[in-house]
Structures are given as structure tokens and as C-alpha cells.
Amino acid sequence: MEGIRMKFEKTKFGSIVISGKKYKHDVYLHTDGSISKRDKSHSERINGHRELSKWELEKMLANKPEVFFVGMGQSGVLPISNDTEQWLQSTIEENSITLIRKKTPKILNEVNKVLEQGKKISGIFHTTC
């Protein structure tokens, strides 16, 4: 999306720094470039972790980004149920959305590259696990 100027700088357990601002929680990146706190209230616990829920994926994909990022956490263990995974794969395929899903520390440079390209993006970034 043209006009979004931000940089995903760094992350460590429990936080992420975006354009000089430190967020001490998981975040959503919306297609308009705004950042908000991840709402885990619809996420079930799987092995002690809050899963990536269909509810939040529906919310983040509603504006049909060209690229959708999922930062899976510091160790990459953000859980997702089989049903939600199937729904996600079907939705991105139907809407020609590119999905990039990696450990949160490994995904930051890719987010910055896609931002520089001016593409319409959104994402969910898990900062623990």
C-alpha cells in the first residue's frame, strides 16, 4: 500500500519494535498501516499457548491484503488448529493472497522489503514462544 512508512526493527521475547516504538505484546498490522494489540480472547489454549484463531484471521484478511504475514513467535511455536489451517489455506488461495509465515525474528526483513514495494499487507506478529 502506497504511503505506509514504517520499519520493523527488532524483536525479543515479549516485545517488538516498529518504527522506534516498542510494543510489549503481540500485534496486528492492519492494511492501513496501523498497529494494534492482538486480541487473544477468541483463541483457545493448545499446549499452554493461545492459538491463532479463525476469528482473528477473518478480521485480518477481510481487507484482502496482497501479502499476509504471520510471525509465529521467537521459536516459531504459535499453534493453529487443523480446521483453522485448512480455512486459512483455502482463503488465501481463493483471494490470491501471498502467505509468509516464519519465526518472528526471521520475518521482519521480509516485512520491510514488501513495505518498500508498496504492496497492501497485513499481519499478526507473536512475540513470545
- pLDDT of 13 reads 98
Nearest to 88 by CA among 73, 104, 69: 69
* Residue 49 confidence (pLDDT): 84
pLDDT of residue 4: 78
Quote the pLDDT of residue 46. Answer: 82
CB atoms within 10 A of CB 34: 10
pTM of the model: 0.95
Domain 8-120 is in which class?
alpha beta
DSSP state of 4: -
Mean pLDDT by 10 residues, the chain (129 residues): 80 98 98 97 87 97 98 96 97 98 98 96 97
Q: How far apart are CA 118 and CA 3, in angstroms?
A: 7
Contact 32, 39 (CB under 8 A): no
CA 101, chain centre distance (Å): 8
* Residue linked to cell 492501513: 32
| Residue 31: half-sphere exposure toward Cβ, Cα within 13 Å | 13
